[in-house]
Structure formats: structure tokens, C-alpha cells
Amino acid sequence: MAFKKDFVWGAATSSYQIEGAWNEDGKGENVWDVFCHEYDHVFEGHTGDTACDHYHRYKEDVKLMKELGINAYRFSINWARLIPNGIGELNPKGVEFYSNLIDELIANGIEPYITLFHWDYPYELHKKGGWLNDDSVEWFAEYAAKISELYSDRVKNFITFNEPQCFIGAGYMSGEHAPGYKVMYKDIFRMCHNVLKAHGAAVIALRANAKQPIKVGYAPTGTTCYPASDSAADIEAARKTMFACPPLRRGLMWNVSWWSDPVILGKYPEDGLRMYKDYLPEITEEDMKLINQPLDFYANNIYNGQEIRADENGNAQYVARKVGHGKTAIQWPITPEALRWGPRFYTERYKLPFFITENGMSAHDVVSLDGKVHDPNRIDFLNRYLNELEKATEDGVDVRGYFQWSLIDNFEWAKGYSDRFGLIYVDFENGERIPKDSYYWYKNWIEEHTK
Ligand code: IFM
């Protein structure tokens, strides 16, 4: 079985990374606005103040999506654009912006997928303690209810969180991302627990306020492991390693099962509970019930993976990467196998329809003398990864969709505009868009796979 006819071929972005208009039309500040306005956090002092100016150019962007041939677009809502203080009064202009965007997508035959939270936390709520404040669960539920009330008449697909590992790990453990903190482990685990509870409360709120049947999912990330061979021993070693809880270190909160088992299986993984016990908040049965809401799909952002083999005793061993192995501009290894094995391991464990909500490549793209943007490396990357994803479907894995990251070059967080992930090149001086060669390649791939 290859890709089904109704497979979702999409592209993704997030609000802070593309919208700009950071202080227009009544929008409130978020932690990324504040973080970027301090001079020394982001590469060369870049900010998302203007970014791709998508707020003003969204019609042009939707036109480019249509020409690309995608049937779905995943974007996120900038919480403080919709509700400037995070809770309370709505911002009419913010409400209107997303409403217009949704209408434009639908008019062009593109299904909107809304991510509720892709890291741009309202500054007013941050001042109240953010995810460390137990009320953050209620704040997020209120926000989710508003989104559902406003947009579920037209939008059928919602995703609560994007990569909680990253906004907690990079935002509060390593301090590389907004708000730039390095807090104690006890605080980290309280935040994790509140985020998971907020996920559950948001699922309930989305459904309770929906104007039609909706689908709700969750999009974390994690280290995908893949086996060195198709032997049963290597496969089992890779599977075990992928879901094992890693020891704590002051890096990212890069943990697969800690962030997904409670949501889907209704319990924290035993090894994590043992390892992290000194730092955990009180975890009640009621909390676990709240976190464990029925979902319509599970998603993951997969960019690369780690090869694992079993030694003669069946113990897992990390396979060292080859000297001179392929890397993307952001220095991530190129490991297409992650797109075959990640979906397989996730669906085996969580037994839900699966989406790749992000996958793509950063490259040092430039405009050539012929005025075009040639990006053969990205084409090769996509070709290899999508072929592996096709193998997953042939293995019988229930993969429903793939969202390319990213539709358009954008603000790559602490790396500013130094890394380009888009299928569409952006001249950040004047906002001009130039579809890259990979844009046409992906268009062709979609055409070939929807015949
Ligand atoms: O740009 C990010 C995105 O916001 C979250 N996932 C990874 C992408 C590339 O780093």
C-alpha cells in the first residue's frame, strides 16, 4: 500500500516565525517579542518584528500555496494577537486576521490545520509565572475555547501544542529560547505537568465549543531511533531506546515517552518516574484523567534520527555516525530512515492515525545570477525522506499526512534569519518571495502521488 488518495500533503509555518506586525492592530506582547528586543539573545540581533510580513501579505502566500498544490496548511495562532493579555478581552483585529486567513485558505481549496501554541507565550501571562503557575492550565483552556468558538465553524483540525520539549527545554532549561531561563528541575517538572494538563483541558474545551465534528491532535517531537538492519534484534533495540527516558542533563527536555505516554496511554513512563522522582510535583489520578483525553490523531515533527543496533546480548548500542556524514546547514544529520521507522514505532505504541507535522531542511540558499533559487540539496533531502515515508505506508503504518517545514523561509528562533528552511525564498529586506527549485519538485511530487 502506498500513499492513499486522500493523503494530506501540506506545508507548515508558525505565527511568530512569519507574521511580523508585532505591535499592530492591538496585538499584545509575547515572550519572543520581549526576548528579541534585548540585543544579545538572537543571531545578529534579528527579531520577528517584520519576519515575512505574512500579516499583510497572507493573500500572496495563500496564492503560492495553491500553486504549490498542497491540500492542507498548518499554521499557529499568536495567542497575544487574539487575546492581548492572554486571558480576557479578545482583540477584534486579531480575530479578523485569522478569520480572513481561514476564509482565504478555504476559498483556495486548502484545509486549515490550526496549532494553538507554537511558543509565542503572552507576556502578561509570563509575568504571572507562565507554565509554572498552576492556573496556566485554565488560561490555556480559555484560549482553546475561544479558538473553537471563533473558528470551528470552518476549521476541522486542531493541534494543541507544538514541540513542548523545545519550548520547555530551550526556554527554561538551556535558556537559548524565550524567555531565556535556566530554572531548577523541580520547576521544569511542574511546568511539564501543567503543559500536559493544559493539553487535556484544551482538548475538552475545543470539543465542548466546536460548531461541527472536529479532529484534535498533538505534535511533540523527540529523538527517533531506527535500526541498523531489519533484524528483529536491531528493531527491538531501536524501539526500546526511542521510548526509554534519558537521564537528566542541562540540555533540552528531549524525551519521547515523558511527553506522550501520559497524553495517550494515561500514565507517565515507569523509568522516568523512578529517575526523576526527586523533582516531580504531586501527580493525582484526576490529573492523569485530565491529561489522557481521547485524540483523533497523533503527530510528530521528525527531522533526523539515531541509528541503533543490538549487541550479541541484545543490548542497544548507538551506531556512530560515519565520518563526513551528510548534514543540513543547521548541522542536523541527514537520516531519511527516521521517516520510515519513526511513524512505525509511534503508531505501534500509541495506536492512533499518524501525521508528520514537520520535516524539512535548512540550507544556505541564495538567489543565483539567473534570478532563481537552486536548492538541489533540499530536493535530494525531500526525495530521500519521502521515499522512506512511502516505505512506512508500504509496511502498513497508518500515516495520514505530511507537512513540509517550511512553506517559506522564516525566523529560525535563536538563529534568526541565518537558516533557511523554506520552499519559498524570502528577501527579508523587501519581502519578495521566490519559489525555490524544491517548491516545483514538491509540487510535482504531490501531483504524482495524488493521480
Ligand atoms: O523552526 C522550527 C519550528 O518552529 C519547530 N520545529 C523545528 C523547526 C526547525 O528548527
The domains of the chain are located at 8-448
Ligand 1, residues 301, 330, 332, 361: which to mutate, most atoms within 8 A of Cβ?
301
Residue 2: which pLDDT band, with cuts at 50, 70 and 90? confident
d(CA 25, CA 34): 18
CB 199 within 8 A of CB 161: yes
Ligand 1, residues 52, 378, 421, 423: which to mutate, most atoms within 8 A of Cβ?
421
Q: Check pLDDT > 80 for residue 251.
A: no
The answer to whether the CB of 7 is under 6 A from ligand 1 is no
Compute the distance from residue 253 Cα to the ligand 1 centre, in Å.
15
d(CA 187, CA 159): 25
CB atoms near residue 365 (< 10 Å): 23
Q: Name the closest-CA residue to atom 1, ligand 1.
A: 412
Task: Please report the DSSP string for 410-437 in residue order.
Answer: ---GGGTTSSB--SEEE-TTT--EEE-H
Which element (helix H / strand E) includes 112? strand 111-117
How far apart are the two ends of the chain, measured CA to CA in Å? 15
d(CA 27, CA 79): 9
Give the pLDDT score at 49. 98
The answer to whether the CB of 176 is under 6 A from ligand 1 is no
Give the burial class of 367: count Cβ atoms within 10 A of its Cβ; 0-12 exposed, 13-18 middle, 19 or more buried: middle
Give the pLDDT score at 253. 83
3-state SS assignment for residue 443 = helix
Residue 374: which pLDDT band, with cuts at 50, 70 and 90? very high
Q: Check pLDDT > 90 for residue 358.
A: yes
Q: Name the closest-CA residue to atom 4, ligand 1.
A: 14
Compute the distance from residue 283 Cα to the ligand 1 centre, in Å.
30
Nearest to 126, CA basis, from 64, 60, 211, 183:
183
The answer to whether the CB of 120 is under 6 A from ligand 1 is no
The answer to whether the CB of 405 is under 6 A from ligand 1 is yes
Residue 1: which pLDDT band, with cuts at 50, 70 and 90? low
d(CA 120, CA 27): 12
The rounded mean pLDDT for the chain is: 97
Residues carrying an active site annotation? 163, 358
**Fold classified for 8-448:** TIM Barrel (3.20.20)
d(CA 249, CA 226): 23
Q: Name the closest-CA residue to atom 2, ligand 1.
A: 412
CB 373 within 8 A of CB 365: yes
Q: What is the mean pLDDT of residues 45-59?
A: 98
The answer to whether the CB of 14 is under 6 A from ligand 1 is yes
Compute the distance from residue 351 Cα to the ligand 1 centre, in Å.
26
d(CA 332, CA 382): 14
The answer to whether the CB of 167 is under 6 A from ligand 1 is no
Residue 417: which pLDDT band, with cuts at 50, 70 and 90? very high
d(CA 296, CA 6): 16
| CB-based contacts of 392, cutoff 8 Å, min separation 6 | 339, 340, 341, 343, 344, 399
